[in-house]
Structure 1
Amino acid sequence: MAENSIQVMVVEDEQEIRELMALHLLRQGYRVTECASAEEALTELSSKNFNLFVLDWMLPGLHGVDILDRIKAKNQNSSVLMVTAKTEPQDIVMGLERGADDYLTKPFNPSVLIARAKALLRRANPKPEEVIKDDSEIAIHGLKMNFKTYEVTYNNEPLHLTPSEFKLLGTLVQNHGVVLTREKLIENIQGEGISVVGRTIDTHVFGLRKKLGEWGDRIETIRGVGYRVKMENS
């Protein structure tokens, strides 16, 4: 399963903590749904399936542990990471016995949160999304890039990109579905006579979108973070 097809629900009533979790998960390329209460989470459960739940225990109204059975009933192959300030051993045991797959106590380090989330998702044995590529060429939804000849075509029509545009597009498609920060993009495309600083990434993306036409709509802006290439069929 490709990162961009992984659905994650974050259930946390404290807005700053919820948004922090969502931001770090989003940077992994996951699709994140935020809920401020258990009741809101149950509503979302009826509309889509999720691969991972990041669930607070102490919530207004129903508590996180109160909906574990309903989460598991609706999403039998999903994983639940409980993130809570309840740190007593008996609380951890109760959370795990009620159906949580892992338990992380607050305050937490975001890198530990992501490591736990990835470990739970690996247990589900996700399969990578099929993209036709080899060491020198990648083809994705009509776009072909040859990294030996530096040729780019869309629906067999050649595109003329600048060196910076080629390296930027190549980085995005090789990391399809993953959100790349501007800093990461700068790091990947600098060198070989190419100098990129600051917001010039945005200028290059703007130019790419114009040259790519309808394919350019696949380059998604993630506000406050960077860019990624969407992979869903158009």
Structure 2
Amino acid sequence: MSSTPKRVLVVEDETEIRELIALHLRREGYLVDDLGTGDLARTQLSKQPYDMVIVDWMLPGLSGLELTRWIRTELKQLQLPILFVTAKTDPEHVAAGLDAGADDYLAKPFDTLVLMARVNALMRRKSWMDSFNVESEQSPHAHILIGELKLDRDAYEVYLRDEKLDLTKSEFKLLEALMMSQGKVLTRKTLIELIQGDGVNVVGRTVDTHVFGLRKKLKDHSELIETIRGVGYRVKLLNG
């Protein structure tokens, strides 16, 4: 972890679970606030910035799903990592949670080693993306334009000329990283870190599959993504 402690908000109505999560986070050096309702969390998020939110789905009043949607749409914290820790683990609920804006999904009961591995992976991904926001001339919410391809980080949308592309969340994150680092090679390991939290176990070949899908959707811009054999991928520099 960096020298500046990261702040995490834990939102869980079961006291024992909330305290267990908070305990392990503090042992890892995180600053932790823990609350028992979604309504209290919404109030707290309105006045205090956080580096991550860990939230249960089933909460009194405002649910975890509703809180997540509020964070993304009303608070407009699109880059804030959100981890669901919940007993709702059927495919429909997992899909709904990810669609609402969660970055990862951990089923109850959970192993605390797995919990902390997920938290640390999401934090690494956030730090990696934040480093681009600092180094890039683009603002954190700017459009990224390469040729006729435009990526809107604020709206999570990609357009090829005037056509909106239907990308999965993982495809969007991969394309965002590649476009932000135009001309630089991103290794498979780096790309795995970026999408590891999307509710799937990611391996190198999974990255290849996502890139294959991206290229199909990019149509005549597919050649923008170059394969660096044995290393990873990059978006090539365009002249002019």
For structure 1, which runs of at least 5 residues remain unmatched after alignment? Answer: 129-234
For the pair shown, which has the larger CA radius of gyration, 1 or 2? 1
Whether 1:77 and 2:66 are equivalent positions in the alignment is no
Aligned equivalents of 2:100, 2:8: Cα separation in 1: 20
Task: Summarize deviations over 1:162-189 as a string: whole Å, max 9, x none.
Answer: xxxxxxxxxxxxxxxxxxxxxxxxxxxx
Larger RCO, structures 1/2 (Cα 8 Å, 6+ apart): 1
Question: Which residue in 2 is equivalent to 1:96?
Answer: 98
Aligned equivalents of 1:121, 1:74: Cα separation in 2: 19
For 1:71, the aligned partner's letter is I
Give the deviation of 1:87 after TM superposition. 1.3
Question: Which residue in 2 is equivalent to 1:116?
Answer: 118
Q: Return structure 1 stretches of 4+ with deviation > 4 angstroms.
A: none
Matches within 5 A, 1:119-138: 119-125=121-127
Whether 1:53 and 2:53 are equivalent positions in the alignment is yes
Describe the SS at the equivalent of 2:41.
Answer: helix
Question: Which residue in 1 is equivalent to 2:26?
Answer: 26
Task: Summarize deviations over 1:57-98 as a string: whole Å, max 9, x none.
Answer: 000111100111222334332100000001101110110011
Identical residues among aligned pairs (%): 47
**TM-score under structure 2 length normalisation:** 0.51
CA RMSD of aligned residues (A): 1.8
Question: Which residue in 2 is equivalent to 1:14?
Answer: 14
Aligned length: 128
Task: Summarize deviations over 1:15-45 as a string: whole Å, max 9, x none.
Answer: 0000000000011111101010000101111
Describe the SS at the equivalent of 1:118.
Answer: helix
1:25 and 1:32 in contact (8 A); partners too:
yes
Describe the SS at the equivalent of 1:125.
Answer: helix
Q: 1:3 to 1:86 in 2, by over 3 A?
A: farther
Q: 1:43 to 1:60 in 2, by over 3 A?
A: same
Describe the SS at the equivalent of 2:109.
Answer: coil
For 2:104, the aligned partner's letter is D
**TM-score under structure 1 length normalisation:** 0.52
Aligned equivalents of 1:105, 1:76: Cα separation in 2: 23
Give the deviation of 1:14 after TM superposition. 0.3
Matches within 5 A, 1:168-207: none
Aligned equivalents of 1:10, 1:50: Cα separation in 2: 10
Question: Which residue in 1 is equivalent to 2:172?
Answer: none
